[in-house]
Copies of this chain bind each other. A is one copy, B any other.
Amino acid sequence: MKALEEKILREGTVLPGNILKVGSFLNHQIDAGFVVEMGKEIARLFEGEQITKILTIETSGIAIALGAAIAMDVPMVFAKKNRTGNLSGEMYSTVVHSYTHGTDYTVVVEKRYISQNDRILIVDDFLANGKAIQGLINIINQAGAKTCGAAVAIEKGFQSGGDELRREGIRVEALALIDSMDGGKVIFRD
Contact = CB atoms under 8 A, between A and B. Distances in A.
A165 B67 CA distance: 32
Q: Which among A63, A83, A112 has the highest number of chain B CB atoms within 10 Å?
A: A63
Interface in A44-102: 58-59, 62-63, 66-67, 69-70, 73-78, 80, 83-88, 100-101
Q: Which among A30, A59, A70 has the highest number of chain B CB atoms within 10 Å?
A: A30
Interface stretch (A17-25, A133-141, A153-161, A174-182): A17-25
A30 B66 contact: yes
Contacts of A19: 86
What is the total number of copies of this protein in its complex? 2
A30 B77 contact: yes
Contacts of A36: 70
A117 interface: no
A142 to B, nearest CB: 16
A121 interface: no
A113 B24 contact: yes
Interface in A118-164: none
Given A76-B30, A78-B28, A101 B88 contact: no
Interface of A: 15, 19, 21, 23-25, 27-33, 35-36, 58-59, 62-63, 66-67, 69-70, 73-78, 80, 83-88, 100-101, 109-110, 112-113
Given A25-B75, A32-B69, A35-B66, 5 more contacts: A19-B86, A23-B87, A30-B77, A32-B73, A32-B75
8 contacts: A19-B86, A21-B86, A28-B78, A28-B113, A35-B66, A58-B58, A70-B70, A85-B100
